[in-house]
Chains A and B, each alone.
Chain A
Amino acid sequence: MKTKQYVIIGNSAAAIGCVEGIRQLDKAGAVTIVSREPHHTYSRPLISYLLGGKTDRQRMRYRDADFYETHGVRPLLGHTALSLDPAQKTVALDDGQVLPYDKLLVATGSVPFVPPMEGLDLVSKKFTFLSLDDADALADAVTADSRVLIVGAGLIGLKCAEGLSGRAGSLTVVDLAPQILPSVLDERAAALVQAHIERQGVRLLLSVSAARFEDGAAHLTDGSTVPFDVLVLAVGVRPNVSPAREAGATAGRGLITDEYMRTNLPDVYAAGDCTESFDITSGERKPLALLPNAYLQGETAGLHMAGGGKPFCTAMPMNAVGFWDLHIVSAGSYTGNAYVQCEEGHYRKLVCRDNLLQGFILIGDVLRAGIYTALIRDRVPLDTIDFELIKDKPGLIAFSRRDRQKKLGVKPA
């Protein structure tokens, strides 16, 4: 059989998942990774930990230094894929190389979304916060005296604030939304986390936005002015659908795929932040820019490219994040009947609908949260377990003796 040519555009979780998926079934095929960034594969969410001195460039590698060698990957790092030709089955790079493929994965990730804001072009020290190069540039710009203004109180903006907290003179975060982390938390949980973040000395300004910038100052919609030395734009991210969409791949907000991560173009797959996922808890298609989702999609694509595999159909919003040692985990969606426990520093919300757990938020005590996640993922009917028993403390004790035996006991011969 002819050796298959696999080409992967991207070098993060979805790309690595794809390589590991391919290699489960095909040890011989030629795998090429094309990445705009010149770096070895690294964990993107760790850039805030790098700023905070909690990891370093070696430890933030997503895979070992010899990963490309051990997995038979030809890495073309520092090269941009400009276009793809689905008829000829080739990818054209910025240096003129044309790579033929039998199977192509588009894992182009997401790009920062910066809405048009008056005077933004006048600001000399402004940064986005999505890549290792962003983190390096920000680290170079921020000194112990710097007043840093971050626009966006989502995961990226607040993790950036935490990462900078030991480095900057002062930190202010501004967001148009009335609460922090609107994509992750409900109002009450957000207030709890907000108080915790404010206790660390971060100033949070909500329900306001920057009406106008000049170099060194933001004039807010409430009439106030925030002077700054360094500006970070963390409003949001958008799936990077280029160059696949130009080549004819169907895209909504992200690239559209089936459950094997195939696009509408023959032998072209897409995975990770550049795609839309089907959220099993809301029944909606939407971008889910989450690392575990990216890996699982990438692996699904890789297995299918190599001639096997099974569909991936358990995507849902999921977040695990900590701010100054306060841990937050959440999953699913929050429409339904809610069970809520809230006390000093702890929050627990479980949302049920149609005899299923649909979502949860845990703050503080997050131990064994995966048992809840599995109830959502596996669509476990709640009347088949003793759900009351685990509302305050997740455990396998909620399952029937038979199910516990299946999970923990010796499998039947």
Chain B
Amino acid sequence: MKRIYVSEKWCLGCHLCEYYCAFANSGSDDMAKALMNRRINPRIQVEERGGISFAVSCRHCEEPLCVKSCITGALSSEGGLITIDKNRCVACHTCVLVCPYGTIMPSDDGMMQKCELCLKNTIGEPACVKYCPNRAIIYEDSDVPAAAR
């Protein structure tokens, strides 16, 4: 299955992935209106310190602790894609407690959200990948030859 991979070698720390993620999942077609003057809650987040930066989003684990630990059944895995049914979430934060990557977080309304590879919004392909200016975020099969990296 195709996954998102990040390269800290190429990451500029520009945070564009965060903005495009928030926009892609905003339901709006106007980026300025969707993001201006508000605190954004993107599903991908850049960690940075001392010249090192890299983006982190859901790894869509093969053994997803979040899905297995979810107390409501809101998180599920199908064909390797892990999604959340926000309607069934009660914000207990068990997924926050168990995700080893720290990639499930509260959305604007307090219920949990996570990267769903933009397959459930209108973009249809990961916006963070599409708009990364330096190809530091890529979306590909895990068994691609090293030359592609």
Interface residue ranges, A against B (CB under 8 Å): 13, 17, 43, 45-46, 49, 54-55, 59-64, 291-292, 295-296, 299, 318-322, 325, 327, 329, 331, 366-371, 373-374, 377-378, 389, 394-397, 401, 404-405, 407-413
Contact = CB atoms under 8 A, between A and B. Distances in A.
Contacts of A49: 90
Contact of B69 (A295, A412, A413): A295
Interface residues of B, number: 44
A413 B96 contact: no
B108 interface: no
Given A43-B71, A321-B92, A373-B98, 18 more contacts: A43-B72, A45-B92, A46-B72, A49-B90, A54-B90, A59-B72, A60-B72, A64-B73, A296-B68, A321-B93, A369-B96, A369-B97, A370-B65, A396-B54, A396-B56, A397-B48, A408-B8, A408-B56
Contacts, number: 135
Interface stretch (B32-40, B126-134, B140-148): B140-148
B120 interface: no
A197 to B, nearest CB: 17
Interface in B49-104: 49, 52, 54, 56, 59, 65, 68-69, 71-73, 87-88, 90-102, 104
A23 to B, nearest CB: 13
30 contacts: A13-B71, A46-B71, A46-B90, A63-B73, A292-B65, A292-B69, A292-B71, A295-B68, A296-B68, A319-B97, A320-B97, A321-B93, A366-B97, A367-B105, A368-B99, A370-B65, A370-B99, A377-B100, A394-B102, A397-B49, A401-B8, A408-B6, A410-B138, A410-B140, A410-B142, A411-B142, A411-B143, A413-B143, A413-B144, A413-B146
Contacts of A60: 72
Contact of B93 (A55, A320, A404): A320
Contacts of A370: 65, 95-102, 104
B100 A373 contact: yes
Contacts of A61: 73
Contacts of B97: 318-320, 329, 331, 366, 369-370, 373
A377 B63 CA distance: 15
Nearest to B53: A397
A346 to B, nearest CB: 15
Nearest to B137: A408
B28 interface: no
Interface of B: 5-8, 47-49, 52, 54, 56, 59, 65, 68-69, 71-73, 87-88, 90-102, 104-105, 110, 138, 140, 142-146, 148-149
Contacts of A331: 97
B30 to A, nearest CB: 29
A322 to B, nearest CB: 7
A409 B10 CA distance: 12
Contacts of A411: 142-143
Contacts of B7: 409
Contact of A292 (B72, B98, B148): B98
Contacts of B6: 408-409
B96 A368 contact: yes
B5 A408 contact: yes
Nearest to B6: A408
Given A54-B90, A370-B97, A43 B73 contact: yes
B7 to A, nearest CB: 6
